């Protein structure tokens, strides 16, 4: 695992060999992963890798290459091949400006207790203890990983970027011999926040409550979506809608709606890497400083995520949300949804008739312009009657426009949780939504 001094030394060395404006990105990554299935640990792996990528610019041309061999000769060869390829590259639409400020952006804060608490012995001991608590009719499967990662960047204009991102993640599916299952998942960069036993017991309770599910006919229902389900919807909304590029190309459900009321007034969504409940990468993969985005404010469409190319096209500043790929556009990776005033338990108690959803599975975008998504429920679907869970329900398929759903949110929970997304984590509450459309059922 490379530290800041070592990372900067490698970046400075490769830049010294370059004859053009060059951005160098170094990722140092270590992962310890323990997998379990059929109530026994079946795999423990460790991987470590350092990858250096350089992007060389000459006017509107750009050439990119990478290596994980970091000796002097390999770095020279990397530069030689990348500069050689530059001659054959077509010109892009824009000449990418040099990143010159701020001179340095760093985030060296990480929780050293993660490794001591969740190394190989810690992961194995926790999994073993959890599995031993199961009745014979249940089996557990899942994964438990410790990730240590360094992102470092630099260019031959003199800027430096460094961030240490360590985190631990756990997920489990607990299944009854007859099929019903429960699920729990969590990721955090703080050792004190990872309560594996609590997560395991939550999944176990869901599996028990999922016994003897009843079939329900497709139709419109009030739903209570737990945070895992909300996080999934939010990730897909971000994917198709929160990028300035998706708005520019007309595929976003926010296209032409800036300043308009698109969701209910109880919905506010923002992107903020400085919030302690997300993973803080203070710069983007193009080297620009990441700033807070106020995407949806009390239901009104406000700001979008920009990368440098989309910003150049529109004549504005980048928001620091580039992924480093020309085709991707900006992408927010620290999404947060504002919470409400009531606990999830109180929302359930105050509900006469609704479906409680643990999470969704295999979500697909039907129509990005309408934010129309479809997916199956999975690992815990329950009917709520008269303020309590009455029985389990067989899995169903929803097909719903988020423009409809997020205008019919009648309750937002006070408590929020981290939910893993496409590139980071979201911090989201539970939601109660009226007239949510289920279009299929399972037998």
Output the domain CATH number for residue 75. 3.30.2290.10
CB 381 within 8 A of CB 397: no
d(CA 170, CA 192): 14
In a shared domain, residues 201 and 220? no
In a shared domain, residues 141 and 222? no
Cα 37 to Cα 3, 139, 144, 196: the distances in Å are 35, 8, 12, 16
d(CA 405, CA 264): 9
In a shared domain, residues 302 and 383? yes
Q: Is the dihedral of CA 144, 148, 154, 160 positive or negative?
A: positive
**Domain range holding 59?**
4-207
Torsion of CA 287, 281, 263, 370, to 10 degrees: 60
- Strands (E) across 70-159 are located at 104-107, 138-155
What's the distance, CA 405 to chain centroid?
21
pLDDT value, residue 325: 80
Q: pTM higher than 0.85 for the full model? A: yes
Q: At what angle do helices 120-132 and 196-209 cross, to 10 degrees?
A: 30
- Reading the block at residue 210, the tokens are 């999922």
Return the number of other C-beta atoms located less than 10 Å from residue 262's C-beta. 20
Q: Which helix or strand (DSSP H or E) is residue 306 part of?
A: none
In a shared domain, residues 197 and 222? no
CB 181 within 8 A of CB 173: yes
HEC profile of 324-368: CCCCCCECCCCEEECCCCECHHHHHHCCCEEEEEEEEEEEEEEEH
Q: Are strands 104-107 and 160-176 parallel, antiparallel or unpaired?
A: parallel
Of 207, 226, 247, the residue at which a domain comes to its end is 207
In a shared domain, residues 203 and 236? no
Of 207, 231, 254, the residue at which a domain comes to its end is 207
In a shared domain, residues 23 and 92? yes
Nearest to 139 by CA among 181, 172, 175, 171: 175
d(CA 189, CA 192): 9
In a shared domain, residues 222 and 170? no
Return the number of other C-beta atoms located less than 10 Å from residue 112's C-beta. 9
In a shared domain, residues 296 and 332? yes
In a shared domain, residues 77 and 185? yes
End-to-end Cα distance, the chain: 50
In a shared domain, residues 290 and 418? yes
- DSSP 8-state class, residue 91: P
**pLDDT, one tens digit for every residue, the chain (443 residues):** 999 999 999 999 999 999 999 999 999 999 999 999 999 999 999 999 999 999 999 999 999 999 999 999 999 999 999 999 999 999 999 999 999 999 999 999 999 999 999 999 999 999 999 999 999 999 999 999 999 999 999 999 999 999 999 999 999 999 999 999 999 999 999 999 999 999 999 999 999 999 999 999 999 999 999 999 999 999 999 999 999 999 999 999 999 999 999 999 999 999 999 999 999 999 999 999 999 999 999 999 999 999 999 999 999 999 999 998 877 899 999 999 999 999 999 999 999 999 999 999 999 999 999 999 999 999 999 999 999 999 999 999 999 999 999 999 999 999 999 999 877 899 999 999 999 999 999 98
Give Cβ neighbours of residue 282 (< 8 Å, ≥ 6 apart).
105, 106, 107, 163, 273, 274, 289, 290
CB 240 within 8 A of CB 246: yes
d(CA 322, CA 317): 12
In a shared domain, residues 252 and 330? yes
pLDDT value, residue 323: 93
Of 161, 185, 207, the residue at which a domain comes to its end is 207
Total number of domains constituting the chain: 2
Exposure b/e, 335-370, CB count within 10 A at least 16 = b = bbbbbbebebeebbeebeebbbbbbbeebebeebbe
pLDDT value, residue 355: 99
Residue 72: helix, strand or coil by DSSP?
Answer: helix
In a shared domain, residues 8 and 61? yes
pLDDT value, residue 402: 99
> Which residues on adjacent β-strands are paired with residue 47?
31
């Amino acid at each position: 695992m490379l530290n800041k001094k070592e990372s900067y030394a490698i970046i400075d060395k490769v830049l010294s060999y370059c004859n053009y404006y060059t951005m160098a990105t170094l990722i140092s990554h270590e992962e310890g992963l323990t997998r379990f299935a059929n109530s026994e640990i079946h795999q423990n792996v460790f991987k470590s890798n350092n990858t250096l990528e350089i992007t060389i610019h000459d006017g509107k041309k750009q050439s990119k290459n990478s290596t994980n061999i970091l000796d002097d000769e390999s770095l020279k060869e990397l530069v030689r091949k990348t500069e050689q390829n530059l001659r054959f590259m077509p010109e892009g639409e824009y000449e990418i400006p040099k990143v010159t400020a701020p001179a340095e952006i760093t985030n060296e804060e990480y929780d050293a207790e993660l490794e001591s608490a969740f190394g190989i012995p810690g992961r194995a001991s926790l999994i073993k203890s959890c599995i031993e608590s199961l009745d014979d009719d249940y089996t557990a499967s899942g994964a438990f990983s410790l990730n240590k990662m360094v992102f470092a960047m630099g260019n031959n204009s003199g800027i430096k970027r460094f961030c240490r991102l360590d985190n631990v993640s756990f997920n489990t599916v607990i299944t009854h011999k007859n099929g019903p299952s429960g699920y729990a998942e969590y990721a955090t960069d703080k050792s004190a926040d990872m309560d594996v036993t609590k997560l395991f017991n939550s999944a176990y309770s869901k599996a028990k409550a999922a016994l003897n599910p009843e079939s329900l006919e497709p139709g419109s229902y009030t739903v209570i979506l737990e945070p895992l389900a909300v996080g999934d919807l939010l990730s897909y909304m971000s994917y198709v809608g929160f990028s300035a590029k998706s708005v520019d190309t007309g595929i976003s459900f926010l296209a032409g709606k800036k300043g308009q009321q698109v969701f209910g007034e109880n919905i506010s969504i923002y992107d903020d890497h400085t919030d302690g409940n997300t993973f803080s990468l203070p710069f983007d993969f193009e080297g620009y400083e990441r700033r807070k985005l106020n995407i949806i404010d009390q239901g009104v469409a406000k700001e979008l995520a920009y990368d440098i190319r989309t910003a150049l096209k529109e004549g504005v500043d980048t928001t620091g949300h580039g992924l480093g790929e020309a085709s991707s556009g900006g992408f927010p990776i620290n999404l947060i949804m504002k919470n409400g005033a009531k606990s999830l338990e109180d929302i359930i108690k105050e509900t006469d008739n609704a479906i409680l959803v643990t999470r969704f599975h295999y979500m697909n975008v039907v129509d990005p312009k309408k934010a129309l998504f479809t997916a199956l429920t999975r690992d815990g679907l329950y009917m709520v009657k008269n303020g309590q869970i009455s029985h389990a329900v067989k899995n169903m398929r929803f097909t719903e426009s988020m423009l409809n759903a997020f205008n019919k949110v009648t309750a937002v929970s006070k408590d929020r949780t981290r939910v893993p997304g496409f590139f980071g984590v979201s911090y989201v509450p539970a939601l109660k939504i009226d007239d949510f459309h289920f279009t299929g059922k399972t037998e």
